[in-house]
Each structure stands twice: as structure tokens, then as C-alpha cells.
Amino acid sequence: MTASLDLSVCPVPWWLPERQTQTLFGALLAPANGLSFIRDRVETPDGDFIDMDWSAPGLIASPPMTPARPTLPDPAQTLNVQTETLGLAGTGAARWMHQSDRTHLLQCAQAAPVQALVLFHGLEGSSQSRYAQSIAQYFRARGWVVVIANFRGCSGFPNRLARAYHSGDAEEIAFILNTVRERVPGAHWHAAGVSLGGNALLKFLGEYAMQSKWLHAAAGISVPIDLVSAGNHLSDNPFNRHIYSRYFLRSLKRKIIAKAQRFPGVIDVMQVTYARDLRDFDDAYTAPMHGFRDALDYWSQSSSKPWLAHIAIPTLVLNARNDPFLPEATLPGPAYGSSYVLMHQPAEGGHAGFVTGGLPGHLRWLPERLATFFSEQR
């Protein structure tokens, strides 16, 4: 059996008439209240770390009146720690997690079943991204445990290794999912990923189909399912190259050039410096650092599109047909997905935008769509 197809609309407002305004307003200007998180630093098997930002019933993000020493497992970054807010200014977290918080999370689902959501952000996103905040706020307000996994180097701290994160890292998704399951083992877990994070999640769900069946449901949002088409479109289309690629490259280059100073001779700094689009950058850093021949090889091997047919849990794949990151012609039809997949492809919404309502608009449509899909799976 093939996937189902939903073409129902996202009611974008008249004052956001096309794909670029819908995308840029959603990312940069749409109102979003700041949800503060408690941050847990998790050691990875290869000696790095991932910062996970948690919000849950009974967890108080604001620091108590008497500061307590945080649990930070990286000795290089914990010297002279005086308060539990050290280094968190400008991040999505209010304080570091205590052991008592971990105990609370462990006990969270023991009294009664609790719903839980882990969210994976997009390229150079974080728990502060507007789409992440809107989703987290919505579900947390309804009593869910919510955790946003900041990919390596995206939490406000440089990661320890020369490598970073990439679109096809299904093993990293597996590690993160197993970690959150250990933290709240009795919860009804759901997973959602946006853009790059959504691609990695969908690839994981197909590649690790049997191992993912403990998840109740999942969702991929504005996923560049065909990374070759998306990468070429972001690199070759003049608007995309000068607006979106330049925006991403500003932070990517800064991080990788700083990383090169810690790992001399490992990164081709000149090639990174002169990268003019995402293809150049992935040729210079992402591909060789993560075991791929070049950008085309990286994109080809990391695309989630071939894995949709193998997904074995209820999964929503939400892509606006006017997404500026991915040509509409490359969106998959129902034949590409398994019977567990629902492809929702509204005509409008932009890339991870989905702004609705009168001025100044809001971002509630996306979390409401996720909540509807998740509730239908119970």
C-alpha cells in the first residue's frame, strides 16, 4: 500500500501573498513568546556532547534563589563554575539541569501516562528558532513533556570535535531518541523534525524501521526530501543564493573557521572562506568531514526520499507546495511512501512558515496540525 495524500489548505493571510514573504516573516518577524528551558548536556559515544533543552510539568526553568552548582560533564568548560546559569545567556535555556530534575523526569510518567515530544531543528536552528518555540509552547501548555535537541555546535557552545552535524545522520537521531526515552521511559513519545532535522528524522525512521516502533508517531516539516534538488535550488536560484544561502553561510563559516583554529590542518579554511553557496560549503567541509566524496555524494546518500517507503510508524510529512527551498516538481507522491505515511502538501505556507491570522499573524497552525495528527494515532 502507498501513502495517503492530503491537499487541504494552510490559510495563509492575504498580506503574505507568496512563498518568500511567508517564509521570511515566519522565520524573522512572527510573534513568539520565549519559552525557557532546562538544559541537559549529554555525552555522545564519540566523546562529544549534545545539549538538550527540556520543559515538563513540574520543572521550574527559573533558577532558585540559592544557586546550585550545575552538572556539566565537560571539565574544559566547567572551570570556576559559580552559578547554574553559567554560559547560558543568549541561549534558549534558563539554567542547567540538576540531578533532582532528572529524577523528576524519570518519575514523570509513573503516576499516569504522559505525552512527550522530541523536536529536531533545521540548519543552524536551535531551541530559540521561532518554529521550535511555537511548537514547544503549544505542547507544553497542554501538559506534554517537550525536549528540543540542539545539534552539535547549535546550542551556543562549540562542540568538541572537528565534525559537526548533517542532514543524513540517522545514527545521531537514534542516539538522541534513545537518550530521551531513557530520561522518561514511561512516556508516549512522539518525534518531529523541521527542515534538516526533519530529513534526518525521516531517514532514521526508514533506515531503522523496526527500532523506531516504540515511537507513537512522528512528523517531518518542510523537509528537503530530495536533497540534490533542494541543494541545487538553494545554490543556483539567484534569490535563494543571495538571501537564504548567504544567511546560513554567515553562521556556518564563522563556526567552521573558529573550529579550524582548534584543529589545524584538518579543515580547508581557504575553501570554506570562499564558499559562495551551500554547494561550495558542503564540498569544502560537510562532505569530507563526514565521510562523503563531495556535496553531490552527501546530498544523494542523505536524502530521506528513498526511505519513506520503509517507514513503519504513523508519520506526517508536511511540505508546502510553494516551499522556496524545494521545487514543487520534486515533492514525492503517495507511491513514494509506505501506508504509515500521510503526505500533507498545502498549496501555500512557505518553508517552515505556515503563518496564519490577521496582523501581526501567529504560528499556531503548525503545532495544531501536529497535535491533530498525533491525536488521531491514539
CA 225, distance to chain mean position in Å, is 14
Q: From residue 31, how far is each of 11, 26, 134 by CA, in Å?
A: 17, 9, 9
* 291 three-state secondary structure: coil
Contact criterion met (CB below 8 Å) for 168 and 302: yes
- Taking only the tens place, the pLDDT of each residue in 51-91 is 999 999 999 887 644 344 444 544 334 433 335 678 898 89
Q: From residue 252, how far is each of 60, 273, 342 by CA, in Å?
A: 33, 10, 33
Instruction: Report the pLDDT value the prediction gives residue 112, as an integer from 0 to 100.
Output: 77
Say how many domains are in the chain: 2
- CATH number, domain at 171? 3.40.50.1820
Nearest CA-CA partner of 304 in 217, 164, 205, 178: 205
Instruction: Locate the DSSP E strands across 47-166.
Output: 49-55, 93-96, 115-120, 145-150
266 and 147 inside one domain: no
Predicted TM-score (pTM) of the model is: 0.94
What proportion of the chain, given as a percentage, has pLDDT over 90? 87
Instruction: Report the pLDDT value the prediction gives residue 77, as an integer from 0 to 100.
Output: 44
Instruction: Report the pLDDT value the prediction gives residue 178, as an integer from 0 to 100.
Output: 97
* pLDDT (mean) for 272-294: 98
34 and 121 inside one domain: yes
Contact criterion met (CB below 8 Å) for 85 and 38: no
- Taking only the tens place, the pLDDT of each residue in 172-196 is 999 999 999 999 998 999 999 999 9
314 and 347 inside one domain: yes
- Taking only the tens place, the pLDDT of each residue in 210-223 is 999 999 999 999 99
Instruction: Report the pLDDT value the prediction gives residue 110, as an integer from 0 to 100.
Output: 79
Q: Which domain holds residue 293?
A: 227-302
114 and 252 inside one domain: no
DSSP 65: S
133 and 169 inside one domain: yes
Instruction: Report the pLDDT value the prediction gives residue 129, as an integer from 0 to 100.
Output: 96
68 and 8 inside one domain: yes
- Taking only the tens place, the pLDDT of each residue in 287-341 is 999 999 999 999 999 999 999 999 999 999 999 999 999 999 999 999 999 999 9
Per-residue DSSP letters for 147-179?
EEEEPTT-SSS--SSS----TT-HHHHHHHHHH
